Structure 1
Amino acid sequence: MRIVFIGDVMGPIGQQMLGDYLPKIKAKFRPQLTIVNGENIANGKGITRALYKMILSSGADVVTMGNHTFDKDEIYDFIDEASKLIRPANYPKNVTPGKGYVLIKVNQATVGVINLQGRVFLDSIDDPFAKFEEIYTEIKDKCDAIFVDFHAETTSEKIAFSWYVDGRVSAVIGTHTHVQTNDARILPGGTAYLTDAGMTGPYNEILGMTKEKVIERFLLHRPVRFETPAEGPGQINGCVIDLNDQTGKTSHIELISISPDHPFID
């Protein structure tokens, strides 16, 4: 089984890059499952019903989220009915709409896709390690493979989690920090790991925000309203993961990185 994962889609340029390149990426790699993180797609914060549908129409099978899940009020109107949208599972139990994982049929196999959020330098929500154990106990006998989007700020928390679950899940792919890391590997137990898949959005800006505004914040040390540009060169980042169909363990992981400096090659 092959999985394509695309990192945080950011604003209008991210929308354009996803629409333009995800079909090409799928044609090149021919994945059986495609997962896209969409928590920044609505001008850098949150998602709308129309943009959720746009991600699916571009070729995604599952949409994961993160700390900006509820930044757009509109999400409360559709999150419970959005069968392919998952938000971090460790938001407070029983009071948070939506779901934190989904089981997807891929040919004759079932893949569990889990979304978790770290707590270091982010909101102090429920423990992602404990929440994983709860979900794992519930779904392990139903799944042939398990994929985790771990949305977190620090590399240490992401790496610690990957070692904690090594051998029990197929992949732990980090999101949130928007810069693709060069540490893709397969851990001894067969779990693929990448600290951050990178972002999909503006290329000549800073983490998806207009660079002048970010620089102004560093110079003035005063609050500045960040902006997500609507025009300019873009990038799309993520990874491709190959799983052993018998064991659910990863046999190969490689990066996807398309930008003006790294043109797409079909």
Structure 2
Amino acid sequence: MRLLFLGDVMGRAGRTAVCETLPKLRKDWRLDFVVVNGENASSGHGLTTAHAELLLKAGADCLTLGDHAFDQRDMLQYIEKEPRILRPLNYAKTAPGSGARLFEAPGGRKVLVAQALGQVFMKRPFSDPFSALETVLRTHPLGASAAASIVDIHCEATSEKMAVGHFCDGRASLVVGTHTHVPTADAMILSGGTAYLSDAGMCGDYDSVIGMEKEEPLRRFITGMQKNRFTPARGPATLSGVYVETDDRTGKALRIDPVRVGGRLQQSGPGGAG
């Protein structure tokens, strides 16, 4: 299978990049399944119903969220109606929606998508991501009920993301980190056959401070004082993520390529640079 995962969509610039670019990528790269992290798509804070529908219409098969899952209040109701949107597995027990689901892919194949929140350096003490993922991976074994499995680990610490990658090795097609908005250069296939990347980066304007206009973050770093709200940067956005090809029999990864399309970062993808 040909899988594409796109990192945190950041504000209007990120939404525009996904809506303008993803349909062409689906066709040119013959993608079977696309996951997009949309938790910052609405002004950098959560995801509205309207923006979720835009991203799904653009070609996302599944939208994952994160620690800002319910910053937009309408998501509390909409996530119960829209099965293609996932909040973290280890969010509050009373939270609406689901943290993992099997999705239909071409040819009758099933794709498992799961998301968990990390605990290290996060503002709120979420429950253990490892035990949450263990239950899901055992229920939907790779190469059996799931032809491919994608795990979005949404957390701050690269060490925790790496630990989750090794924990899932051989049991997931892809483990990819989100949340920090900075793409890492460690794309690899682990010894058990799981493709891994510490952070997919963001779909947003990189002439910024992790997607926000530079002035206010700089003021706060330099003076320690707050003057204005953070505002998402609106310049040309780079589509950042990762492309993975899997073995049709085992579901394990055969290939992994970072994706950088448009904007300020060096462009790359399954066809190589350019």
- State the TM-score, normalizing by the size of structure 1: 0.95
Q: Which residue matches 1:210?
A: 213
Q: Which residue matches 2:18?
A: 18
Deviations 1:161-195 (A, max 9, x none): 11111111111010000011000000000000000
Residue 247 of structure 1: which of 228, 245, 250 is its match? Answer: 250
Distance of 1:184 and 1:194 partners within structure 2: 5
Could you tell me which amino acid in structure 1 is paired with residue 172 of structure 2?
V
Over the aligned positions, Cα root-mean-square deviation in angstroms equals 1.6
Distance of 2:227 and 2:248 partners within structure 1: 50
Distance of 1:225 and 1:3 partners within structure 2: 40
Where do residues 220-235 of structure 1 align in structure 2 (5 Å cutoff)?
220-229=223-232, 231-235=234-238
Q: Which residue matches 1:102?
A: 101
| Displacement after TM superposition at 1:261 (Å) | 4.8
Deviations 1:93-122 (A, max 9, x none): 3x1101001101212321110011101111
Where do residues 54-133 of structure 1 align in structure 2 (5 Å cutoff)?
54-93=54-93, 95-106=94-105, 107-122=107-122, 123-133=124-134
Deviations 1:192-220 (A, max 9, x none): 00000010111211101011111001011
Distance of 2:149 and 2:37 partners within structure 1: 16
Per mean C-alpha deviation after superposition, the further-off stretch among 123-132 and 24-33 is 24-33
Q: Is the 8 A contact 1:210 1:226 kept in 2?
A: no
| Displacement after TM superposition at 1:18 (Å) | 0.8
1:5–1:261: structure 2 CA closer, same or farther, 3 Å change rule? Answer: closer
**Aligned residue-pair number:** 265
Deviations 1:58-114 (A, max 9, x none): 110000111110111111121111110001011133x11010011012123211100
SS of 1:79's equivalent? helix
Q: Is the 8 A contact 1:209 1:226 kept in 2?
A: no
Residue 266 of structure 2: which of 249, 262, 266 is its match? Answer: 262
Once the two structures are aligned, what percentage of the paired residues are identical?
40
Distance of 1:132 and 1:209 partners within structure 2: 32
Distance of 1:263 and 1:170 partners within structure 2: 24
Q: Is the 8 A contact 2:200 2:242 kept in 1?
A: yes
Residue 170 of structure 2: which of 161, 167, 170 is its match? Answer: 167
| Displacement after TM superposition at 1:230 (Å) | 5.8
Q: Which residue matches 2:137?
A: 136
Could you tell me which amino acid in structure 2 is paired with residue 137 of structure 1?
R
SS of 1:80's equivalent? helix
Distance of 2:232 and 2:31 partners within structure 1: 31
Deviations 1:224-255 (A, max 9, x none): 54433463222110111000000100000001
SS of 2:238's equivalent? strand
Per mean C-alpha deviation after superposition, the further-off stretch among 187-196 and 108-117 is 108-117
SS of 2:43's equivalent? coil
Q: Which residue matches 1:33?
A: 33
| Displacement after TM superposition at 1:125 (Å) | 1.1
Structure 1, unaligned stretches of length 5 or more? none
Distance of 1:29 and 1:67 partners within structure 2: 31
- State the TM-score, normalizing by the size of structure 2: 0.92
Q: Is the 8 A contact 2:150 2:175 kept in 1?
A: yes
Could you tell me which amino acid in structure 1 is paired with residue 266 of structure 2?
H
Per mean C-alpha deviation after superposition, the further-off stretch among 26-35 and 2-11 is 26-35
Distance of 2:97 and 2:71 partners within structure 1: 14
Q: Is the 8 A contact 2:238 2:265 kept in 1?
A: no
Structure 2, unaligned stretches of length 5 or more? none
